[in-house]
Structure 1
Amino acid sequence: MKRYTGKKAVVTGGTHGMGLATVKALLDGGAEVLLTGRNERNLEAARRELGPEAHVVRSDTGSMADVDALSVTVKETLGQVDLLFVNVGVANLEMLDQVTEASYDWTFGINTKGAFFTVQRLVPLIRDGGAIVFTTSIANEGGSPGMSVYAGSKAALRSFAQVFAAELLPRQIRVNAVSPGFIKTPTMGIAGASAEALAAFEQEGREVTPMKRIGTSEEVARAVLFLAFDATFTTGVELPVDGGLGQGIVAPHA
């Protein structure tokens, strides 16, 4: 019997990067998974790559109609679930004087409002003793120019995790978060970035991370699954997956 045989999971933002790596690990372990995305090309690629145990659903977390519809789809497809991984998120790097009401609402609408109501709508379907995991960010702490709106939207998820952990104690549903640092994904978390900008961002990540490399999506996935299934006496925490970047670690000089 595989490790996750009989388990059912929902992964929002599961068509690429950290979400897709988590979906693959769950499927390899024998779980049944429903994953969401909104980019048709990514959705089709996921359908081709993943097996029949993966239910690939188009759903825009920034749309309340889609969030409502997702809860119906999950109930009809999976019934009760053991894990909800709220991973979908967007980033648009803008300095204070560049932020518009539209760009602010777009970021918070997906990262914060969408995440909140996804949990609200799906929590009745989570089994007692199940788990919720959020993806936050190392940007939650410190101050990086151009990341005010993104950092604020992700910091809210940290608070959601703590409060939901308290509210869901009677059902023994654990609520935690992973906080990635620089992670190798197709977009590196930045919407619309050019290939040159992504390469520069990766190089910056290697230079500032104490471990002198950037992380992989698979490393984040392992942290997600640890919180989801192995950390049975852990709730309300944010687990950094950042190579020591947010922990005050200083790499030794060569």
Structure 2
Amino acid sequence: MKKLENKVAVITGGNSGMGLATAKLFAQNGASVAITGRNLVTINSAIEAIGNGAIGVVSDVSDVSNMEHAFSKVEQTFGKIDILIVNAGFFAGAPLADFTEEMFDQTSDVLFKGAFFTVQKALPYLNDGASIVLTSTSLNEKGLSFAAAYSAAKAAVRSLARSFSSELLGRNIRVNVLSPGAIDTPIFGRGGGSKEEIDGTKAFFASSTPLKRLGTVEEIAAGYLFLASDDSSYMLGAELVIDGGIKAI
């Protein structure tokens, strides 16, 4: 039996990288899948790749009203939501002395505020017994010189999972966290660097990982499937770390 048969799943940031791989895997496991993203072109491309009747909604998680519209459309199309993957992300890295207020605000708006209000706005559209997975990072307990705001925002997301779990116990809604390490996704190319710079960045992160490689989006998708399905039915407010050993070793 498919693990997500007859389930409705929403994946924010599902138009590329880890989100897209997760959307594909969920659809293969029987879920009715809806993705959100900010770019209509990439959403349409992702929907074609996912298949299985998936839908996409243009939505920016840093704009609270956007999310309510997205969830309403999902309910109109598929019914109430059983799985919510809060995956939309943003990364701005710079030393403390060079980090701008604009970079800080965007980091906070997408990663922290975005995660908080994505869950809040989803509440009327969630079935009791739903599974929510927030995306943090294995850096949420580490100090990295050029990623202070990013790491702090992701640590806040880890904290949200605990508080949300306590608050939503009455509805039997489970909230857990998936914390990836360095994963080979298109995010490496979004800073506008040359191919040599991008390859160098990837090589740095791979060499900093005990397994000496980047993770794949498929490995992360398998983690989301575990947390979304009944396989993790006894996990609540917990963190699944998939990072090649960065956090532990």
Matches within 5 A, 1:41-120: 41-120=41-120
User: Could you tell me which residue of structure 2 aligns to residue 4 of structure 1?
Assistant: 4
Are positions 1:28 and 2:31 aligned together? Answer: no
Q: Summarize deviations over 1:41-85 as a string: whole Å, max 9, x none.
A: 311211332325211111111112212312322222222111000
Deviating beyond 6 angstroms after TM superposition, the runs of 4 or more aligned structure 1 residues are none
Whole-Å separation in 1 of the counterparts to 2:50 and 2:32: 11
Match of 2:124 in 1: 124
Deviation at 1:86, TM superposition (A): 0.1
Whichever residue aligns with residue 237 of structure 1, its letter is A
Count of residues in correspondence between the two structures: 248
TM-score by length of 2: 0.94
Unaligned stretches of 5+ residues in structure 1: 249-254
Counterpart-to-counterpart distance in 1, 2:88 and 2:189: 10
**Helix, strand or coil: the match of 2:211?**
coil
C-alpha RMSD of matched pairs (Å): 1.5
**Cα deviation 1:125-177 (Å, max 9, x = unaligned):** 22211100011012212111110111111111001001001111111111001
Cα 1:161–1:8, aligned 2, differ >3 Å: closer, same or farther? same
User: For residue 211 of structure 1, what is the aligned residue in structure 2?
Assistant: 211
1:252 aligns with none
Deviates more, 1:47-56 or 1:214-223: 47-56
- 1:142-157 to 2 correspondences below 5 Å: 142-157=142-157
SS at match of 1:247: coil
Question: Is contact 2:137–2:151 with CA below 8 Å preserved after alignment?
Answer: yes
Q: Is the 8 A contact 2:183 2:214 kept in 1?
A: yes
Q: 2:240 aligned with 1:239, yes or no?
A: yes
Unaligned residue ranges in structure 2 (runs of 5+): none
Identity of aligned residues (%): 42
- TM-score norm. by structure 1 comes to 0.92
CA contact (8 A) 1:36 1:59 kept: yes
After superposition, give the CA deviation of every residue in 1:190-213 in whole Å (9 maximum; x if it has no partner). Answer: 644443332112211221211121
Q: Note if contact 2:165-2:175 (Cα within 8 Å) is conserved in structure 1.
A: yes
